[in-house]
C-alpha cells in the first residue's frame, strides 16, 4: 500500500482489533443521501458502486477474519440491498428503516449500500455504511463526491511532520500519553445506575438547523462552529447527569490528521482528543467560553508533531487494546464527532440530494454518541443512544434549545415567526428547523 496510506492503515487496524474484541458492538459509520427523484435501477446502482470501489481499492475486498488476509474481491451485488418502505410513511418510515438496517451489522463485506424508497412520492434514500476501520467521516464524504463525480475535499494545510528522533519533547509527550490512559479516571456515565450498554437495539434520531445560524453565533462569540456545537451539547446533556454529579463529562472528539499528501486519501486518518464539557455552568455564555478553553486541546493536538506518539511507540498488536482503554466508559462519557461536508447542493443522476444524514456508532459500554454533519448550508445532528436512557428522544430538541440560548446571548433576537425547536414537521413544509425521531424502537 502507498506510503500516504500508512497512517490510515494503522488507525484502521486499531478499529478492526477493537471490533474483534467487542463482538457485540457495531462500529459502522455512514450516511444517508436523501434524493429527490425516482429510485435508480439496479444497473445504475451497480455502476455507482463500481465508481466508489475505483476511488478506494480496499472497498473491493470482502470482510476478513481477524489476523487473516482479505478473502478475495466482492462484486457490486454483494454491497447492495433494496428495501421498499411503507407507502407515504414520510420521514418516520425512512428513519425507522435506517434504524432497522443499522441494527444488522455487515458480515461478508466491510461496507454496503441500501436503497430505501416508497416512503414519499418521487424521493429515495441511499444509505451507505462502512466499518470504521475502513473509512472515517472525511473518507465517506470523499467517496460520496466521487460517486457524484465532484472534486474531492480541498487540501488541508500541512501540520508538522514527526521528528526523526526521540527529542525531550517527544519523551514528555509519551509520558503524558501513557499517564492519560494508565491513571484512574472518573468520566460521568449517562446510563442508569452505571449500567453497561447495550441493553437493546439502539435508538437513532436526527435534527437539523441552518448552518449560517451556527456561524453567526461562532462569529459573535469569537469561537469555532465546533465550539458552538459542543457548548449546545453541554446544555442538552444536563437532564441526564447523575445527581449528585461527581466526575466530569469527558467526550472524545475525533481529530482529522490528514497532511497535504494525504488530504485526498481515503481510509481512517483520525485520533481521539479528550474534551471536558462544562455542563455544570449555569449560562450559555459561560458554557461557550469554557468550551473554547476546553477545545484548546484540539487546536494544540493538531499542531503537535508528537500528538500520536503513543501509537507510534506501541507495537501494532496493542493498538486495539489502547483504543479500548481510551474509549472505556470510565474514561470517556461519549464520542462527539463533527464532519464538514459539501458547501453546495449535489446531484445524483441529475436529481438533487436534499440532505445527507450522518450515521454514528455507539462504542462498547456507552449509552450515547453524537455526530454533527454539514451539507449545503444545513447542520444535521445525528444521535445514537442506548434505549436504557430515559426520555432520550428529547435530546435533539434540547440541543436546538441550547443553540437558542447561545443565539440569545450572542446575536440579535430571533424573529417571532421562527419555528419552535421541538416541532415535529413534515419535510414538505417550509419550517427551517425540525426534530424527527425514529419509531423503530417501539416497532422492534
Using one digit for the tens of pLDDT, what is the confidence trace for 253-291?
887 665 555 555 555 566 778 899 999 999 999 999 999
pLDDT of the residue at 35: 96
In the chain, % of residues over pLDDT 90: 45
Write the CA distances from 190 to 386, 389, 390, integer angstroms: 10, 7, 10
Is residue 17 within 8 Å of 337, Cβ to Cβ? no
pLDDT of the residue at 428: 34
Position with higher pLDDT, 369 vs 326 = 369
> Which helix (H) or strand (E) covers residue 229, if one does?
helix 225-236
Q: Which residues are bridge partners to 270 per DSSP? A: 256
pLDDT of the residue at 55: 79
- Residues ≥6 apart with Cβ < 8 Å to 33: 125, 126, 128, 144, 348, 353, 355, 356
Least confident of 206-220, 298-312, 345-359, 421-435: 421-435
- Asked if residue 59 has pLDDT above 90, the reply is no
pLDDT of the residue at 10: 62
- Asked if residue 75 has pLDDT above 80, the reply is yes
Least confident of 39-48, 297-306, 311-320: 297-306
- Asked if residue 247 has pLDDT above 90, the reply is no
Burial tier of 300 (Cβ tally within 10 Å: 0-12, 13-18, 19+): exposed
The mean pLDDT of 167-182, rounded to a whole number, is 81
- Asked if residue 62 has pLDDT above 50, the reply is yes
pLDDT of the residue at 94: 95
The mean pLDDT of 236-260, rounded to a whole number, is 79
- Asked if residue 431 has pLDDT above 70, the reply is no
DSSP-derived letter for residue 201 is S
Q: What nine digits make up the cell of 438?
A: 425514529
pLDDT band at 155 (very low <50, low <70, confident <90, very high): low
Most trustworthy range by pLDDT among 289-298, 363-372, 412-421: 363-372
Question: What is the overall mean pLDDT for the chain?
Answer: 81
Is residue 404 within 8 Å of 433, Cβ to Cβ? no
The Cα 371–Cα 29 span in angstroms is: 10
The mean pLDDT of 181-200, rounded to a whole number, is 76
CB neighbours of residue 408 within 10 Å: 14
pLDDT of the residue at 2: 37
Maximum separation of any 2 CA atoms in the chain, in Å: 65
- Asked if residue 306 has pLDDT above 80, the reply is no
pLDDT of the residue at 435: 40
Q: Look up the pTM and report it.
A: 0.84
Least confident of 64-73, 162-171, 320-329: 64-73
Least confident of 150-154, 183-187, 252-256: 150-154
- Asked if residue 228 has pLDDT above 90, the reply is yes
The mean pLDDT of 2-29, rounded to a whole number, is 74
Using one digit for the tens of pLDDT, what is the confidence trace for 89-114?
899 999 999 999 999 999 889 899 99
- Asked if residue 231 has pLDDT above 60, the reply is yes
Q: Which of 441, 423, 442, 444 is nearest to 432 (CA)?
A: 423
Amino acid at each position: 500500500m502507498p506510503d500516504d496510506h500508512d497512517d490510515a492503515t494503522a488507525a484502521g487496524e486499531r478499529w478492526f482489533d477493537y471490533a474483534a474484541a467487542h463482538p457485540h458492538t457495531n462500529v459502522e459509520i455512514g450516511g444517508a443521501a436523501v434524493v429527490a427523484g425516482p429510485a435508480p435501477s439496479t444497473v445504475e446502482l451497480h455502476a455507482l458502486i463500481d465508481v466508489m470501489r475505483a476511488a478506494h481499492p480496499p472497498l473491493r475486498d470482502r470482510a476478513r477474519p481477524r489476523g487473516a488476509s482479505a478473502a478475495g474481491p466482492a462484486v457490486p451485488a454483494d454491497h447492495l440491498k433494496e428495501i421498499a418502505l411503507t407507502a407515504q410513511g414520510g420521514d418516520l418510515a425512512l428513519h425507522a428503516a435506517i434504524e432497522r438496517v443499522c441494527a444488522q451489522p455487515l458480515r461478508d463485506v466491510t461496507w454496503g449500500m441500501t436503497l430505501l424508497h416508497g416512503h414519499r412520492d418521487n424521493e429515495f434514500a441511499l444509505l451507505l455504511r462502512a466499518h470504521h476501520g475502513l473509512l472515517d467521516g472525511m473518507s465517506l464524504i470523499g467517496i460520496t463526491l466521487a460517486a457524484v463525480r465532484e472534486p474531492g475535499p480541498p487540501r488541508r494545510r500541512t501540520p508538522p511532520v514527526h521528528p526523526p528522533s526521540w527529542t525531550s519533547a517527544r519523551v514528555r509527550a509519551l509520558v503524558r500519553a501513557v499517564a492519560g490512559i494508565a491513571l484512574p479516571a472518573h468520566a460521568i456515565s449517562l446510563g442508569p445506575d452505571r449500567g453497561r450498554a447495550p441493553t437493546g437495539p439502539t435508538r437513532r434520531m436526527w435534527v437539523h438547523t441552518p448552518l449560517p445560524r451556527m456561524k453567526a453565533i461562532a462569529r459573535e462569540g469569537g469561537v469555532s462552529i465546533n465550539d458552538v456545537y459542543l457548548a449546545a451539547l453541554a446544555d442538552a446533556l444536563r437532564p441526564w447527569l447523575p445527581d449528585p454529579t461527581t466526575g466530569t463529562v469527558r467526550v472524545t472528539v475525533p481529530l482529522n490528521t490528514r497532511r497535504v499528501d494525504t488530504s485526498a486519501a481515503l481510509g481512517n486518518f483520525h485520533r481521539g482528543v479528550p474534551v471536558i464539557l462544562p455542563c455544570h455552568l449555569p449560562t450559555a455564555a459561560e458554557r461557550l467560553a469554557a468550551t473554547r478553553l476546553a477545545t484548546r486541546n484540539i487546536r494544540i493536538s493538531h499542531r503537535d508533531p508528537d500528538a500520536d506518539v503513543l501509537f507510534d511507540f506501541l507495537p501494532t498488536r496493542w493498538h486495539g487494546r489502547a483504543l479500548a482503554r481510551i474509549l472505556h466508559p470510565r474514561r470517556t462519557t461519549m464520542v462527539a464527532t463533527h464532519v464538514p461536508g459539501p458547501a453546495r447542493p449535489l446531484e445524483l443522476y441529475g436529481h438533487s440530494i436534499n440532505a445527507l444524514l450522518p450515521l454514528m456508532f455507539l462504542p462498547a459500554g456507552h449509552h450515547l454518541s453524537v455526530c454533527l454533519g454539514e451539507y449545503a448550508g444545513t447542520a444535521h445532528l445525528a444521535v445514537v443512544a442506548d434505549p436504557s436512557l430515559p426520555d432520550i428522544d428529547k435530546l435533539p430538541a434540547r440541543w436546538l434549545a441550547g443553540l437558542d440560548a447561545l443565539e440569545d446571548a450572542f446575536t440579535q433576537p430571533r424573529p417571532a415567526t421562527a419555528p419552535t425547536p421541538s416541532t415535529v414537521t413534515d419535510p414538505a413544509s417550509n419550517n427551517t428547523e425540525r426534530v424527527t425521531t425514529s419509531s423503530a424502537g417501539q416497532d422492534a
